[in-house]
Copies of this chain bind each other. A is one copy, B any other.
């Protein structure tokens, strides 16, 4: 008979890994991942092969999944992002990249001959996606703070007015959490009399809380976006990468295709889809509600302000964008980068004050930085 026991040496490998994961999770400030979640309430679902096969809004013959809850999750974000009433659609993805891939795919289907524009601060996965989709694209310069250079964007579109325009806007860039202003981009398109265009917002990190702060940054459907992708494992927190993409239903319908096999019209990127991740998102939405999510955002912003202040106090040139939880500063030593898992790009690093990051963590990092300064002097 099959048994569930592993041999002692294999069990040891797992035990070591768990220990390492636990330890590494304790000390990371450089990645946009919340780790303050507790989904034990949902563990019983791990006993079953959940699979939200195909489109969540079309009934399927496969009954072991969480499609109903997934639909509620999509609806929550559609409303949060002010999608047009009765004209929204979406699904829970395996992460921000898949959501962006979906948005760009939709854009390509609507405007096959379009040129895609995105800023140089855009996450590398977008270029990977564009290559996969075989879409022509032009990189636009960024301003100092990581926001797209609107003059360069306008100038470049002006040079290509014969082509439909697809914009990939960043709502929180990877390095500095800069937000491209979707309303301002739309105004440029209007000024140039571009009639065929599509705006996708990569709101992986900042999407959720951008909708909860005042003044509200211009990034959602009412501001001009045609689709928005967010990550679920970032601000919400989830054991595995996941995300949500919301698009206009009318656009999605144009690329729908009938599929006999699963009794479903499937326009999702993958066919078999994770049935557990919608449960995590649903759980967090229900548990916190808008008020709880808002205070979660406010706490992160407060920690970011604290971090910026503390770094400046010890003479480090820290800065951050307005209403950003990412604090930027010159890359510290390799030892500190490794210990706190800080990403580095061209001499710049950042601390991302995810909701689980507390001032006490910041104090420890500051102490490490100070200790090195003393050694160096």
A interface residues (Cβ-Cβ under 8 A, vs B) = 2-7, 10-11, 13-14, 17-18, 20-22, 24-25, 28, 30-31, 33-51, 61-66, 68-69, 94-98, 105, 123-125, 128, 132-134, 174-175, 231, 233, 237-241, 257, 259-263, 266, 269-277, 279, 283, 286-288, 292, 296, 337-338, 341-346
Is the beta-carbon distance between A48 and B35 smaller than 8 angstroms? yes
A274's partner among B69, B241, B342, B345 (CB-CB below 8 A) is B241
Across-interface contacts of A25 in B (CB, < 8 A): 48-49, 64
Task: Check if B272 sits within 8 Å of A233, measured CB to CB.
Answer: yes
Query: Considering the complex of A and B, which 8 residue pairs feature the smallest CB-CB distances, nearest first?
Result: A241-B272, A24-B63, A134-B134, A95-B272, A10-B286, A125-B271, A33-B49, A46-B239
| 5 pairs, A vs B, C-beta closer than 8 Å | A4-B38, A6-B283, A6-B286, A28-B63, A133-B134
Contact partner of A61 (CB less than 8 A), chosen from B48, B272, B338, is B338
Q: Which of B4, B30, B231, B239 is the one whose CB lies under 8 Å from A41?
A: B4
- CB pair B24–A270 under 8 Å, yes or no, is no
Question: Judging by beta carbons under 8 Å apart, are B4 and A51 in contact?
Answer: no
A interface: dominant SS: loop
Asked if A49 meets B63 with Cβ closer than 8 Å, knowing A41-B4, A239-B276, A270-B94, the reply is no
Say whether A18 contacts B45, CB under 8 Å: yes
CB neighbours (8 Å) of A343 from chain B are 61, 261-263
Q: A68 to B17, Cβ gap below 8 A?
A: yes
In the complex, how many angstroms separate the beta carbon of A39 from the nearest chain B beta carbon? 7
Choice from B14, B31, B49 contacting A34 with Cβ under 8 Å? B49
How far apart are the CA atoms of A262 and B175 in the complex, in Å?
11
CB distance from A235 to the nearest CB of B (A): 12
A287 / chain B contacts, CB cutoff of 8 Å: 2-6, 10
Give the CA-CA distance A342 to B62 in the complex, in Å.
9
Q: Known contacts being A14-B41, A44-B18, is A49 close to B61, with CB within 8 Å?
A: no
Write the chain B residue with the least CB distance to A204.
B272
Q: Which residue of B lies closest to A238 (CB)?
A: B49
Known: A3-B287, A132-B269; 10 extra A-B contacts, CB below 8 A, are A47-B239, A49-B233, A50-B239, A50-B240, A61-B342, A123-B271, A124-B266, A240-B275, A240-B277, A241-B274
Q: With A5-B287, A132-B132, A345-B261 in contact, is A64–B24 under 8 Å at CB?
A: yes
Chain B residues closer than 8 Å to A345, beta-carbon distance: 260-261
Name the residue on B nearest A296 (C-beta). Answer: B2
**In the bound complex, what is the Cα–Cα distance between A269 and B132 (angstroms)?**
9
Q: Which residue of B lies closest to A66 (CB)?
A: B17
> Which residue of B has the minimal Cβ distance to A31?
B62
CB pair B17–A69 under 8 Å, yes or no, is: yes
CB distance from A21 to the nearest CB of B (A): 5
With a CB–CB cut-off of 8 A, which chain B residues contact A61? 30, 337-338, 341-343
